[in-house]
């Protein structure tokens, strides 16, 4: 069959990188299974079991030599993926065949592989997160002094700056980075626990030597790069709450990206800030003039999927019966991989959009100046009082003029003529020069510029310095 006749996940075809897709591929999984079997054999040999170096060398020589056809044929017969691969590995390693998977249960390879892959995937996500942080840092510094309308309830409130708003997006990512660092640092392997977590099979292999069984756990996990990072007690699987922690981190990144993408979509509607729009890009099949925020919308769409998907882990963790049930297996095959692939796709888009944001400064300042007269009324009032005016009378006059100016805008579609009304009202005793000083938009941004500088210097720069040697990530957007 042609691949176009079969369903292929859009995450691998359209959104996620090849690197992330590989991490959750069969090849990566089965090679890791074989690595785990080698490590188990090595540790058992070190602790005195009758395993030869020749057997271990044979296993090592065939780690990457996957004989898929043999494993697939065997699984059709026995309906068990792990034992099918034990059989296939044994065909290639006849000398080592008797000691492959010795004392272990399927979760030894399954669960430990999941953790190893999730850790690599989290490290990859972290790199992309840092790339987004770097992009937003540069953007925030570039526009730290550009006044813009800020909003509460999506209604114009006071002025901020474009760079200060970018720091809000940036701060969300910094919080996500802290969480992903914590998650990576605290991921634990299942270790070597046996069928129900009691290690009974290994105790039998080591003739009742509890110390050697404990050492086996430690040695295996250390060889896998998880020194002392394994669960001390488990059922057959590692606690599924660990998946909750991982998916919560992915959900948190998705939430941050969702917030950013929604803000960009609204700002693009205002014509203030736009995502990149390529020369030959088509915004609409029916309306050739449109520049739709397609990438930001895609971030929102994928983020919603990840946020909802994280609930799967909550349900799985809460419904595991005693030492294990298998209702987690098919679910986790989908949920873990697809959540990582989706977040990878989200960050590809986030990097792309933040690399080339278009800022329409004249539109931003035009919209500021349309709203600023209302925001400046308190300053106008204070200036008039300093000139000897009556505060109560002035307050009432400003209130009346503000209502009339608002009516002129909303009812008649006119301009905001509040300043003209104030100049023409002798009660205020103000001329145009007085109002020009009051109406300087930079007087209304508070400490926005200073906050940007302080946040970048005190919070963001240390992060960038910490990861200054991290490899540069290329975020490819294919659609």
Report which of residues 431 and 313 the model is more confident about. 313
Report the pLDDT averaged over residues 25-49: 98
Does residue 278 carry a pLDDT above 80?
no
| Catalytic (active-site) positions | 153, 284
Regarding whether 316 and 246 lie in a shared domain, the answer is yes
Query: Final residue of a domain: which of 338, 364, 390?
Result: 364
With CA atoms as reference, report the closest residue to 258 among 339, 169, 150, 129: 169
Between helix 361-375 and helix 377-386 the angle, nearest 10°, is 50
Q: What is the pLDDT of residue 285?
A: 46
**Is 211 a member of any domain?**
no
Q: Are residues 285 and 153 in the same domain?
A: yes
Torsion angle, alpha carbons of 150, 151, 152, 155, to 10 = 140
DSSP letter string over 259-298? HHHHHHHHHHHTTSEE----TT--S-SS-TT----HHHHH
Asked if the structure places residue 193 within a domain, the reply is no
Identify the CATH number of the domain in which residue 306 sits.
Answer: 1.20.200.10
Same-domain check for residues 250 and 315 = yes
Please provide the size of the chain in residues: 479
3-state secondary structure of 342: helix
Beta bridge mates, 273: 359
pLDDT tens, position by position, 184-243: 999 999 999 999 999 999 999 999 999 999 999 999 999 999 999 999 999 999 999 999
Answer yes or no: is 65 within a domain.
Answer: no
For residues 332 and 407, membership in a common domain is answered with no
Using DSSP's 3-state secondary structure scheme, residue 168 falls into helix
Q: Does the residue 64 lie in any domain?
A: no
Residue 168 lies in a domain: yes
d(C-alpha 36, C-alpha 113), whole Å:
8
Taking residues 162-186, what's their average pLDDT?
98
Question: What CATH number has the domain bearing residue 396?
Answer: 1.10.40.30
Closest CA to 220 of 240, 242, 190, 198: 190
Q: 157 is in which domain, residue-wise?
A: 106-188+237-364
Domain shared by 335 and 429, yes or no: no
* Count of the separate structural domains present in the chain: 2
Going from the C-alpha of 432 to that of each of 10, 96, 439, the distances in angstroms are 60, 93, 10
Number of neighbouring beta carbons within 10 Å of residue 205: 19
Residue 127 falls within a domain, yes or no?
Answer: yes
- Give pLDDT, residue 132: 97
| Confidence at residue 289, expressed as pLDDT on a 0 to 100 scale | 45
Do both 325 and 357 map to the same domain? yes
| Residue that is last in its domain, among 364, 391, 425 | 364
Is residue 156 packed enough to be buried (19+ CB in 10 Å), middle (13-18) or exposed (0-12)? middle
Q: Is 344 helix (H, G, I), strand (E, B) or coil?
A: helix
Q: Is the pLDDT of residue 290 over 80?
A: no
Domain match, 355 and 386 both: no
Identify whether residues 183 and 122 lie together within a single domain.
yes
| Angle (CA) 213 214 217, round 5° | 90
Q: Taking the model in full, what pTM does it have?
A: 0.92
Segment holding 217, helix H or strand E: helix 210-223
CA dist 416 and 265 (Å) reads: 26
Same domain? 249 vs 330? yes
Domain contains 273: yes
Per the CB < 8 A criterion, the answer to whether 395 and 381 are in contact is: yes
DSSP line for 15-72: IS-HHHHHHTSHHHHHHHHHHHHHHHHHHHHHTT-S--HHHHHHHHHTSS---HHHHH
Statement to judge: residues 258 and 314 lie in one domain:
yes
Task: Give tens-digit pLDDT for 373-418.
Answer: 888 888 888 888 988 888 898 899 988 988 998 898 889 888 888 8
Give the pLDDT score at 1.
Answer: 64
Are 254 and 275 contained in the same domain? yes
Averaged pLDDT of the chain: 93
Question: DSSP class of residue 319?
Answer: S
Q: Which residue has the higher pLDDT, 140 or 289?
A: 140
pLDDT in tens, 81-134: 999 999 999 999 999 999 999 999 999 999 999 999 999 999 999 999 999 999
Structure confidence at residue 381 (pLDDT) = 86
Beta strands in 97-153 (DSSP E): 147-152
Comparing 85-89, 96-100, 314-318, 432-436, the range with the smallest average pLDDT is: 432-436
Domain end, chosen from 311, 340, 364, is at 364
Q: Give the residue-averaged pLDDT of 151-156.
A: 93
Question: Which pLDDT band, with edges at 50, 70 and 90, does 3 fall under?
Answer: low
| Domain match, 152 and 277 both | yes
Q: Is 11 part of any domain?
A: no
Specify the pairing of strand 147-152 against strand 155-161: antiparallel
Residues 6+ apart with CB under 8 A from 161: 143, 144, 145, 146, 147, 148, 445, 448, 449, 452
């Amino acid at each position: 069959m042609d691949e176009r006749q079969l369903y292929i996940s859009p995450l691998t075809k359209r959104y996620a990188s090849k690197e992330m897709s590989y991490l959750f591929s069969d090849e990566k999984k089965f090679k890791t299974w074989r690595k785990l079997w080698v490590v188990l054999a090595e540790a058992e040999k070190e602790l005195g079991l009758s395993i030869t170096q020749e057997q271990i060398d044979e296993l090592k020589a065939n780690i990457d030599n996957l004989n898929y056809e043999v494993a697939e044929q065997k699984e059709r017969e026995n309906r068990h993926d792990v034992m099918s691969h034990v059989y296939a590995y044994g065909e290639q390693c006849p000398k080592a065949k008797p000691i492959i998977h010795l004392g272990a249960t399927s979760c030894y390879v399954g669960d430990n592989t999941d953790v190893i892959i999730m850790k690599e995937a989290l490290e990859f996500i972290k790199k992309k997160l840092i790339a987004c942080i770097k992009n937003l840092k540069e953007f925030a510094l570039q526009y730290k002094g550009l006044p813009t309308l800020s909003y509460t309830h999506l209604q114009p409130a006071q002025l901020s700056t474009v760079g200060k708003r970018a720091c809000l997006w940036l701060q969300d990512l910094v919080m996500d980075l802290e969480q992903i660092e914590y998650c990576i640092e605290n991921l634990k392997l299942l270790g070597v626990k046996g069928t129900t977590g009691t290690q009974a099979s290994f105790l039998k292999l080591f003739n009742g030597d509890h110390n050697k069984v404990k050492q086996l756990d430690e040695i295996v996990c250390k060889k896998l790069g998880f020194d002392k990072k394994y669960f001390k007690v488990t059922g057959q699987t590692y606690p599924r709450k660990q998946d909750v922690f991982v998916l919560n981190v992915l959900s948190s990144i998705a939430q941050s990206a969702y917030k950013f993408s929604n803000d960009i979509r609204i700002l693009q509607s205002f014509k203030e800030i736009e995502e990149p729009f390529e020369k030959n890009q088509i915004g609409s099949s029916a309306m050739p003039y449109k520049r739709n925020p397609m990438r930001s919308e895609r971030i929102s769409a994928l983020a919603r999927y990840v946020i909802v998907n994280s609930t799967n882990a909550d349900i799985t963790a809460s419904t595991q019966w005693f030492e294990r049930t298998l209702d987690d297996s098919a679910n986790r095959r989908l949920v873990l991989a697809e959540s990582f692939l989706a977040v990878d796709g989200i960050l590809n888009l986030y990097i792309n959009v933040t690399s080339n944001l278009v800022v329409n400064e004249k539109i931003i300042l035009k919209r500021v100046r349309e709203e600023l007269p209302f925001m400046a009324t308190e300053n106008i009032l204070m200036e008039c009082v300093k000139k000897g005016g009556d505060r109560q009378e002035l307050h009432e006059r400003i209130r009346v003029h503000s209502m009339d100016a608002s009516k002129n805008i909303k009812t008649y579609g006119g301009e905001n003529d509040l300043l003209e009304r104030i100049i023409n009202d002798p009660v205020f005793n103000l001329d145009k020069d007085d109002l020009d000083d009051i109406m300087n938009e930079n007087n209304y941004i508070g400490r926005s510029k200073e906050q940007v500088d302080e946040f970048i210097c005190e919070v963001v720069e240390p992060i960038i310095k910490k990861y200054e040697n991290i490899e540069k990530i290329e975020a490819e957007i294919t659609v």
